[in-house]
Amino acid sequence: MRVWDIEPSKLCKDHLLGEHRELHAIWSILTQGKQGYSKHPETKRWVGKLKALYNRHEKLVEEMKNRGYNHHTDLDVFLAIGEEVQNEHVDSYEEQIKILRGKNCNCKV
């Protein structure tokens, strides 16, 4: 489970769409009290930062549309409360770059 802190335009198709799916999972956990992955470090870093998570979603959607993908899974803006900026990381930005470089994908990092 991962929400990258890397600009969506740099993500390959698989990581862009995968992050979008996982972001929705985290959103559901935090807004609907679901238990699956609720204790995962990636989920925990978004507690109290639904506005920041919403903002990340909007960036992903913008990039998806730029690439010609359809998007039909909007988040409820009224639930987007809390801090607007995510400043906590499971892995540092530099470590995330290393992780992506090691995946042998088409990410532009």
Helix (H, G, I), strand (E, B) or coil at 82: strand
Contact residues for 34 (Cβ-Cβ < 8 A; gap 6+) = 28
User: How do residues 70-81 score in pLDDT, each as one tens digit?
Assistant: 999 999 999 999
Cα–Cα dist 72/16, whole Å: 15
Token pair for residue 87?
Answer: 């400043």
Helices (H), 1-92: 13-32, 41-44, 50-66
Q: What pLDDT is stored for residue 107 in this prediction?
A: 98
SS3 42: helix
Mean pLDDT taken over the chain: 97
